[in-house]
Amino acid sequence: MPRVSSRFVGLGVGFAPYLQPPGPEVIRWTVGEPGFDTPSQIIDAAIHGLKEGKTKYTRGPGSIELCEAVAEYLEIHHDIEASADEIVVTPGAKQALLYSFLITTMPGDEAILLSPSWASYEPMLEFIGAVPVHVKVNMEDFHPDLVAIRDAITDKTRMILINSPCNPTGAVFTPEEIGEIVDIAVENDLWIVSDEIYGRMVWVDWPHVSPSTLPGGKERTIVVNGWSKSWAMTGMRIGFLTGPSDAMKAAVKSQANSASHIPTFMMDAAKVALECEDSVREFNREYLKRREMMMEGLSSLPGIRVPEPEGAFYVFADVTGTGMTDIEFADGALEAGVQLIPASLITGGEGFVRVSYAADEEDILEGLRRLRSWLLQE
């Protein structure tokens, strides 16, 4: 009997055990997915593409029209300068992250993750033989510990990953913090992979700033982004990466030798999405309301500390004050009819639970009622 290669031994699956659909009576605060329908113009464009026969192989990094539209979008919304041939459109931001890791590390090289970080980074790095090095953020506000980052750098470090706004913590790093991380990368000649998938969801006074826009940042930053979150397109699987032209030549090769390209009929739909500003703004107004509801509701429960979620659509709540571990808390909540994620499933998350407020308003209110009656034995 042939054996499955050893690279899968012990490889994590992140939050997967807690993402299983529970019974219909359970409220799900687990899934990192917008609770909105995909805007209809996007769906119409995809159907139109199919009917027009856009079902054949095409340009690997994405149609030139789509890549031009992405470049224009990046300039308008994120101040990022990129030409169309420096954009590679991928099957989801996840695939773009995989290419970025392949481009920036060789087996045995170290990559710094600011932990607790999104559950897929660590296994994805391990998958390709790179070594994730976890540097814990400040657990009061989830902002980076710059001294600890410097201390973690060795002669094997090749890359620092930034994810701001952050899943799972909701932190939005300040422009100064991003600037300091760029300085550290410049001093040590490191790559930065900047996962900006929540870049349009910022709820605080300071802006999301891409490291690629700061002095010294452009030539060492690969920006990853995608359509899943701000346009409610998770199942359509479209993301992209951009960066220095050598890195993008490598990204083109990565895609040519794996996915080839995103579905041809989705290319126009992705372009149409970039014009759906009204939907992005409308979703954001709703997220702001839901964020208030969730923050207020959770803060009023005994033993739960709720640091302010600055961006994205997650609350990362400290449950140590309840006397339970995060696993005990998540299991108890599930029994009470609310599914949430115990953060000890990821490095550095012990004592916290992740709650998504992308759920609809009724589910937020009913979930809070259930937690209240469980914790207060009402």
Chain residues in the site for ligand PLP (CB under 6 A): 32, 92-94, 118, 163, 167, 195, 197, 226, 228, 234, 239
* Least gap, CB of 119 to ligand PLP (angstroms): 9
Q: Would you say 193 or 338 has its CB closer to ligand PLP?
A: 193
- Which residues contact residue 313 at a Cβ distance below 8 angstroms, ignoring those fewer than 6 apart? 32, 34, 198, 201, 229, 287, 290, 291, 356, 357, 358
* Least gap, CB of 231 to ligand PLP (angstroms): 11
Q: Which residue of this chain has its Cβ atom nearest to ligand PLP in the complex?
A: 92
Return the sign of the alpha-carbon dihedral for residues 286, 288, 292, 295: positive
> Under DSSP, is residue 305 helix (H, G, I), strand (E, B) or coil?
strand
Say which DSSP state 231 is in: T
Q: Would you say 89 or 93 has its CB closer to ligand PLP?
A: 93
**CA 289 to chain centroid:** 21
* Least gap, CB of 98 to ligand PLP (angstroms): 10
CB distance 356 to 364 below 8 Å:
no
CA angle at residue 296 from 290 to 300, to 5 degrees? 145
CA angle at residue 38 from 33 to 41, to 5 degrees? 160
Return d(Cα 171, Cα 329) in angstroms, integer. Answer: 23
* Least gap, CB of 196 to ligand PLP (angstroms): 9
Q: Would you say 124 or 190 has its CB closer to ligand PLP?
A: 124
* Least gap, CB of 78 to ligand PLP (angstroms): 16
Say which DSSP state 132 is in: E
CB distance 132 to 266 below 8 Å:
no
Q: Which two tokens stand for residue 152?
A: 């973690």
Q: Would you say 82 or 197 has its CB closer to ligand PLP?
A: 197
* Least gap, CB of 332 to ligand PLP (angstroms): 25
Cα dihedral: 209, 214, 217, 221 (round 10) = 20
* Least gap, CB of 302 to ligand PLP (angstroms): 30
* Least gap, CB of 146 to ligand PLP (angstroms): 21
Q: Would you say 164 or 337 has its CB closer to ligand PLP?
A: 164
CB distance 75 to 280 below 8 Å:
no
Q: Would you say 251 or 375 has its CB closer to ligand PLP?
A: 251
Exposure class string for 180-194: b at 16+ Cβ within 10 A, else e: bbbebbbeeebbbbb
Q: Would you say 226 or 337 has its CB closer to ligand PLP?
A: 226
